[in-house]
Each structure stands twice: as structure tokens, then as C-alpha cells.
A and B are shown apart, each in its own frame.
Chain A
């Protein structure tokens, strides 16, 4: 085996390996959709974030418009402060409502944005005033049970 043939085969290996990496990054990992886009950051306070995690999706009308970039706990208000990076291509009015929602019955939690009617748009570093916390299943069930119990008392009278 002479040297040029060896070089050729090694070249093929390296090209194929890099091609495989590119395939993994683009076709499997979908690198193209998030990375290069410019973003701006918006904060929101929530009384309870449930199971929301960093890097969870931020959706509006079902379309992913950004990601959760940071979750902190504020010791002054005892609330969670969630920072979202939104794609700069999507502008939202200042009175946009942020809700923590769940995809499917037991799926991942994400933040849903509902645009308001304000003419001023959100800027980098702004804070969303209107938020709705995550629904905690236990609270929901206990509420339901209490209501049922109350109904039972009423009908017994």
C-alpha cells in the first residue's frame, strides 16, 4: 500500500466522520433552528413554577419563540424569577401574559405567552406583570374533593 492511497483512505475516513458529526448535529440535533438567532431577555415572577426547568420551551400559539434561560428564587418576594430568552424576530406587547402550561396530560412544562393589546413592545430586560403559576395537581385534587364534600353536606340538609 503506497502513501497516497493511505492518505486517500484517511481522508475518506475523516470526511465521513465529520459528515457523520454534521448529520448528528443538523438532522438529529437540529442545531440550525436556535443557535444563530438573536435573542432578548424578559423576566417574569411566578408564585409557583411547578416542574419548569431551564431550557424549557417558551411558546406562543403553540410556536416555540424562545427558551427559559434562568430560574432563580427571590428571597424578598418569595417568588420564582424566570428569565426567558426570546427570539428577536418575535416582538410582544408589554401587557403579554405568561402562563406555565403542561404539554399533554403528563408532559413537559413550558411557558405560554398570550399577547395583549398594548402598543408598546417588550424590550430587553423588561418584566412581565401578568403571570399565571403552574397548576399543581395535588391542589387541584384537594380543591375538587373539598367541593365534593361541601356539595354532599348541602344535599344532606
Chain B
């Protein structure tokens, strides 16, 4: 009995591993195919612009409001900690560095995954469930070139713009709370920030991060949509998986990128 149960367990485990590896391979092949067939999405750019509208412009409100509040909280929390060491003028540095390096790309990426990534998955999944994808194939229209690639590129283009807006809005929020509300010196807030934030080291690295997150989230979103079981349940599961997988991917990638980017200073 026990050996049977054990065998069943190992069989399930093996199945899961095999299907996981199979799915990873499929996802990689899917990405390569999509990149090779992105010609249509880039040539008929209005298709991509429509997707930038849906994933970028419609995410604007949530990004801006969250950015403002995250910055305000950073300003408030940072002030109380820094004040204890008598260096509340460094508030600008704290707010700007934490937003530009970490919070901007990561939180914007998480919001983007739940706001736009889930919508992309649901849309493509539903197209598959209602056999619109098959209909396109019947008409000799490549659904990956016509439907998937524009959504992917729309996400990749929107994400760095949204992350930059998030950081800028957050710094404004920190400024509002720190300078206008609490009364940190205006000049010190900006000048210390400018002295400490490096364009190449901090801002460009932040933009690279957000770009990588954009690729990861968009890839996961379109793949899960395309891979979804063509039923109502399948679409709902795929949407959940998109949010969970892309959030985990963002956090894991963030660790890897941070380790690569911000620890090189002492090695040379």
C-alpha cells in the first residue's frame, strides 16, 4: 500500500517536472517565433499603438496615484528615521534612490502585471475559447503576428514609460510630504539628491530594469493567453497564473539584476 502511494507521488512529481520543462520549451519557442514574426506589428504600427493605449494609457491613473502615495509614504517614513540621526536633509536622497533603483521599476511592474498583463491574457484566452484564433488561421492570417506580437510590443514599450512616470511621481510625492508638509529645507532636498543620484549608475539601470520587467510580463501574459485551455475555467486559470508568475518573475529578476548592477562598484 505504502509503496503504491509513494509510487503515485513520484509519478505525479515526474509528470509535473516534465510538463513544466515542456511548457518552458514551448514558451521559449513561442517567444522566438513571435520575435521573428514581429514584422507586421512594427510595420503596421497602428496595431501596436492600439495596444500601447490599452496597456499603457489605461494603466496611467493607477500608476500615477500609486507612485504619488508610495513617494509620500517614503517621505514620511524616511523623515522619521533620518531625523533620529539628525540628517533629515538626506530625505531627498533616500526617496530618489529607493524609487529610481528599486521601487519604481518593481512596483510599476507589479501593477502593470495585474492591470495590463491579466487583461492581455484574458483577451487572448477568450479569443482562443471563442475560436477567433482558429478562424484567423483558416483565413491564413497568422494570429501570432496579428494578435500576439502587437500586444507584446505594446507592453514592452509601455512599461519603461510607466516606470519612469512612477518614479517621477513618487519623488514629487516625497517632495510634497518632506518639503511642503514637514518642512525639510527645499534647497538641501534637491541638491543632496542631485549630488547622490548618478545618471548612468542609478537612472539608466532603473530604466534597464523596467525594460526587462516589461519584456518578462508581456511575454508571460501573451504566452499564458495563447496557452490557455479554451474554456471559461481555462481562461480564468490562465489569468491567475499570469499575475502570479509575472509577479514572481519580477521579484526574482529584480534580485538578479540588482546583484549584477549595484555590486560591481567594489569589485574593480
A binding-site residues for B, Cβ under 8 Å: 1, 3, 6-7, 9-10, 12-14, 16-21, 23-25, 27-31, 33, 35, 53-55
Q: How many of B's residues come within 8 Å of A, CB to CB?
A: 33
- Which among B167, B195, B265 is the interface contact of A53 at CB below 8 angstroms? B265
Query: How does the 8 Å CB contact mask read for B51-85 relative to A, with 1 for contact and 0 for none?
Result: 01100110010000000000000000000000000
Residues of A within 8 A of B164 (CB): 17-18, 20-21, 24
Are the C-beta atoms of A29 and B203 separated by less than 8 Å?
A: yes
Say yes or no: A28 contacts B161, CB within 8 Å.
no
Chain B binding surface SS class: helix
Point out which of A19, A28, A30, A53 has the most chain B C-beta atoms below 10 A from its C-beta: A28
Query: Among the listed A7, A28, A31, A54, which residue makes an inter-chain contact with B96, where contact means beta carbons less than 8 Å apart?
Result: A28
Q: Closest B-chain residue to A14, C-beta based? A: B161
B168 in contact with A24 (CB, 8 Å): yes
Whether B199 pairs with A29 at a CB distance below 8 angstroms is yes
Measured between beta carbons, the chain B residues less than 8 angstroms from A9 are 53, 57
Residue in contact with B165 in the complex, picked from A16, A29, A55, CB distance below 8 Å = A16
Q: How far is the CA of A31 from the CA of B195 in the complex (A)?
A: 10
Q: Which residue in B49, B158, B167, B195 is a CB contact (below 8 Å) of A24?
A: B167
Least CB separation from B207: chain A residue: A21
Query: Are A6 and B165 in touch, CB under 8 angstroms?
Result: no
Q: Across the A-B interface, give the 9 residue pairs with the lowest CB-CB distance, nearest first.
A: A17-B161, A30-B194, A20-B168, A29-B199, A20-B164, A9-B57, A20-B165, A6-B53, A21-B164
Minimal beta-carbon separation of B187 from chain A (angstroms): 13
> CB within 8 Å of A: which of B143-173?
158, 160-162, 164-165, 167-169, 171
B193 contacts across to A, CB distance below 8 A:
28
Contacts of A16 in B (CB 8 A): 60, 161, 165
18 new A-B contacts at CB < 8 Å, known A14-B161, A19-B168:
A7-B49, A9-B53, A9-B57, A12-B57, A13-B52, A13-B57, A13-B158, A16-B161, A17-B162, A17-B164, A20-B161, A20-B165, A21-B164, A24-B203, A27-B190, A28-B96, A28-B171, A30-B194
